[in-house]
Amino acid sequence: MASSTIELAAPDVIAKYEVVIGLEVHVQLATNTKIFCSCPTSFGAPPNTNVCPVCLGLPGALPVMNRRAVELGSQAAISLHCNVNPFSRMARKNYFYPDLPKGYQISQFDQPLAEHGFLDITVTPEGEPAYKKRVGITRLHLEDDAGKSLHDGSFKDMDRYTYIDLNRSGTPLAEIVSEPDMRSSDEAVAYLTELKQVMQYINASTCDMEKGHLRADANVSVRLKGAEKLGTRAEVKNLNSFRFLKAAIEFEVARQVAIVEAGGKIHQETRLYDTESGETVGMRSKEQAHDYRYFPEPDLVPVRVSEKWREQLRAELPELPFDRRARFINDYGLREYDAQVLTATRDMSDYYEQAAKASEDPKGTANFVMGDLMGALKGEGKEISESPVPPEHMGELATLIKRGEISGKLAKEIFVKMFAEGTRPSVIMERDGLKQISDTGAIEKIIDEVLAANPKQVEQYKSGKTAVAGFLVGQVMKLSKGQANPGTVNEMLAKKLA
Partner 1 sequence: MNLAQLTIPQIQQGLKDKQFSAVELATEAAQFAAAENPKTNAYITLSPDRALATARLVDEKIARGEDAGALAGVPVAVKDVIVTKGVRTTCGSKILANYIPPYDATAVERLEQAGGLVVGKANCDEFAMGSSNENSAFGPVRNPVALDRVPGGSSGGSAAVVAQGTAVVSLGSDTGGSIRQPASFCGVVGVTPTYGRVSRYGLSAYASSLDHIGPFGRTVEDAAALLGVIAGRDEWDSTSAAAPVEDYVAACRQDVRGMKIGLPKEYFAGLAAETGDIIAAAVETLKSLGVEVVDVSLPATDYAVACYYIIATAEASSNLARYDGVRYTHRSDSSRTLAEMYRNSRGEGFGAECKRRIMLGTYVLSHGYYDAYYLKAQKVRALIAQDFARAFEQVDAIVTPVSPFPAWKLGEKVDDPVAMYLSDIYTITCDLAGIPGMSVPCGATPEGLPVGMQILTKHFDESGMFRLAGAFERARA
Question: Which parts of this chain interact with partner 1 (CB under 8 A)?
Answer: 53, 56-65, 92, 94, 96, 98, 101-104, 164, 291, 293-295, 298-301
- 443 C-beta neighbours (distance < 10 Å), count: 21
Helix (H, G, I), strand (E, B) or coil at 284: strand
For the CB of residue 284, give the shortest distance to partner 1 in the complex, in Å: 13
* CB-nearer residue toward partner 1: 131 or 295: 295
* CB-nearer residue toward partner 1: 87 or 96: 96
For the CB of residue 39, give the shortest distance to partner 1 in the complex, in Å: 14
For the CB of residue 269, give the shortest distance to partner 1 in the complex, in Å: 17
Q: Closest Cα partner for 111 from 297, 346, 237?
A: 297
* CB-nearer residue toward partner 1: 298 or 433: 298
DSSP string of 7-43, one letter each residue? ----HHHHTTEEEEEEEEEEEE---SB-SSS--B--S
* CB-nearer residue toward partner 1: 149 or 354: 149
For the CB of residue 29, give the shortest distance to partner 1 in the complex, in Å: 19
* CB-nearer residue toward partner 1: 10 or 62: 62
* CB-nearer residue toward partner 1: 59 or 433: 59
SS (H, E, C) 294-337: CEECCCCCCEECCHHHHHHHHHCCCCCHHHHHHHHHHHHCCCHH
For the CB of residue 159, give the shortest distance to partner 1 in the complex, in Å: 15
- 492 C-beta neighbours (distance < 10 Å), count: 18
- Alpha carbon 240 to chain centroid, angstroms: 14
* CB-nearer residue toward partner 1: 134 or 304: 304
For the CB of residue 73, give the shortest distance to partner 1 in the complex, in Å: 17
CA quadruple 29, 108, 219, 198: dihedral sign = negative
Query: With DSSP H G I counted as helix, E B as strand and the rest as coil, what are the percentages for the chain, rounded to 5?
Result: 40, 20, 40
* CB-nearer residue toward partner 1: 290 or 431: 290
- 113 C-beta neighbours (distance < 10 Å), count: 26
For the CB of residue 99, give the shortest distance to partner 1 in the complex, in Å: 9
Element (H, E) at 273: strand 269-274
For the CB of residue 303, give the shortest distance to partner 1 in the complex, in Å: 11
For the CB of residue 163, give the shortest distance to partner 1 in the complex, in Å: 12
For the CB of residue 423, give the shortest distance to partner 1 in the complex, in Å: 54
Look up residue 159 and give its DSSP letter: G
Q: Which residues contact 168 (CB under 8 A, 6 or more apart)?
A: 145, 146, 147, 148
Q: Closest Cα partner for 342 from 197, 152, 148, 176?
A: 197
- Alpha carbon 428 to chain centroid, angstroms: 35
Q: Residue 304 in contact with residue 89, Cβ under 8 Å?
A: no
| Whole-number Å distance between alpha carbons of 254 and 235 | 15
For the CB of residue 109, give the shortest distance to partner 1 in the complex, in Å: 11
* CB-nearer residue toward partner 1: 61 or 258: 61
| Whole-number Å distance between alpha carbons of 114 and 76 | 9
Q: Closest Cα partner for 250 from 209, 287, 220?
A: 220
| Whole-number Å distance between alpha carbons of 338 and 329 | 9
Q: Cα separations (Å) of 244 from 198, 273, 353?
A: 21, 8, 33
- 416 C-beta neighbours (distance < 10 Å), count: 12
* CB-nearer residue toward partner 1: 57 or 117: 57
Helix (H, G, I), strand (E, B) or coil at 47: coil
For the CB of residue 116, give the shortest distance to partner 1 in the complex, in Å: 25
- Report H helices in 168-306: 185-201, 242-261
| Whole-number Å distance between alpha carbons of 492 and 498 | 10
For the CB of residue 233, give the shortest distance to partner 1 in the complex, in Å: 19
* CB-nearer residue toward partner 1: 130 or 301: 301
* CB-nearer residue toward partner 1: 50 or 436: 50
Q: Which residues are bridge partners to 33 per DSSP?
A: 40
* CB-nearer residue toward partner 1: 44 or 59: 59
